[in-house]
């Protein structure tokens, strides 16, 4: 099976993907990794990508598609792909459909992790760190036993930061840009929504159920 996983920044998509990869023996395809690998290989294409990235421009869909085709065409990864952070727009989604079809493959399921902006904010603003042992807590989701105190009576510190504003921006940008892509897959009846506000294990077991049905 080939999977796409969608989820806003801070939804725990990375954690879930790595569980899925292990359990179902999949290959995680991230466009960022593909670009970095190509640059490191110092191929002609890699050098071209390097100069585009260094100039601050965006790498074209054409180049990304080329890199993805290299993976899709490889028998080693046939029907074993999990797409993370791709496709980002309708053009890429359409291209992916064509590309997979060319190699007798398709997307089996699209997992959509849903987390509200409020929860994302609390995950950031509630975070507390112990300066002695490095334990992290969260005021809302994982509070320390004694208020604001960890080991050896050490006070926990909250980072006063403006990270929230950045996170809100990233969330909104994500939602806006992903919506049409989600709609694209909804029309194909491939989207399964998973509540990303649950405990990590609960989220995983939900995803596991969906995937096991396809595998079985």
For position 150 contacting Zn ion by CB under 5 A, the verdict is yes
CB under 5 A: which stretch of 46-54, 94-102, 129-137, 176-184 binds Zn ion? 129-137
Q: Which C-beta is closer to Zn ion: that of 133 or that of 214?
A: 133
- Between CA 81 and CA 27 the distance in angstroms is 5
Residue 106 tokens read as 């398709």
For position 111 contacting Zn ion by CB under 5 A, the verdict is no
**Contact with Zn ion (CB under 5 A): which of 73, 90, 101, 133?**
133
CB of 150 to Zn ion, least distance (A): 3
- Between CA 206 and CA 209 the distance in angstroms is 5
- Could you identify the residue written with the tokens 């089996």? 108
β-pair type (156-158, 127-130): antiparallel
Q: Which C-beta is closer to Zn ion: that of 138 or that of 178?
A: 138
- Between CA 97 and CA 214 the distance in angstroms is 19
For position 128 contacting Zn ion by CB under 5 A, the verdict is no
Q: Which C-beta is closer to Zn ion: that of 108 or that of 135?
A: 135
CA dihedral (59, 61, 65, 68) positive or negative: positive
**Contact with Zn ion (CB under 5 A): which of 73, 90, 151, 188?**
151
Q: Which C-beta is closer to Zn ion: that of 41 or that of 141?
A: 141
Furthest CA-CA distance within the chain: 62
Cβ 110 vs Cβ 190: under 8 Å: yes
Catalytic residues: 13, 88, 127, 159, 170
Asked whether the bond before 60 is cis by omega within 30 degrees of 0, the reply is: no
- Between CA 211 and CA 79 the distance in angstroms is 13
For position 132 contacting Zn ion by CB under 5 A, the verdict is yes
For position 101 contacting Zn ion by CB under 5 A, the verdict is no
CB of 140 to Zn ion, least distance (A): 19
CB of 102 to Zn ion, least distance (A): 55
Q: Which C-beta is closer to Zn ion: that of 30 or that of 135?
A: 135
For position 130 contacting Zn ion by CB under 5 A, the verdict is yes
- Between CA 118 and CA 168 the distance in angstroms is 9
CB under 5 A: which stretch of 16-24, 37-45, 128-136, 192-200 binds Zn ion? 128-136
- DSSP-derived secondary structure letter, 60: P
> Where do contacts with Zn ion occur on this chain (CB under 5 A)?
130, 132-133, 135, 150-151
């Amino acid at each position: 099976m080939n999977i796409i996983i969608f989820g806003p920044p801070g939804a725990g998509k990375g954690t879930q993907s790595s569980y899925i990869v292990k359990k179902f023996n999949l290959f995680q395809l991230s466009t960022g990794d593909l670009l970095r690998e190509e640059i490191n290989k110092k191929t002609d294409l890699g050098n071209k990508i390097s100069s585009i990235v260094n100039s601050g421009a965006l790498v074209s869909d054409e180049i990304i598609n080329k890199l993805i085709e290299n993976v899709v065409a490889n028998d080693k990864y046939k029907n074993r792909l999990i797409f993370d952070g791709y496709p980002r727009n309708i053009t890429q989604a359409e291209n992916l459909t064509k590309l997979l079809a060319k190699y007798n493959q398709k997307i089996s399921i699209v997992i959509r992790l849903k987390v509200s902006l409020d929860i994302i904010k609390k995950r950031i603003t509630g975070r507390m760190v112990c300066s002695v042992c490095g334990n992290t807590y969260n005021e809302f989701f994982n509070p320390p036993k004694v208020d604001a105190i960890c080991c050896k009576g050490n006070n926990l510190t909250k980072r006063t930061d403006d990270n929230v504003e950045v996170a809100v921006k990233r969330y909104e940008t994500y939602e806006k840009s992903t919506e049409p892509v989600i709609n694209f897959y909804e029309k194909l009846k491939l989207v399964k929504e998973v509540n990303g506000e649950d405990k990590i294990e609960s989220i995983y077991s939900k995803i596991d159920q969906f995937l096991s049905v396809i595998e079985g």
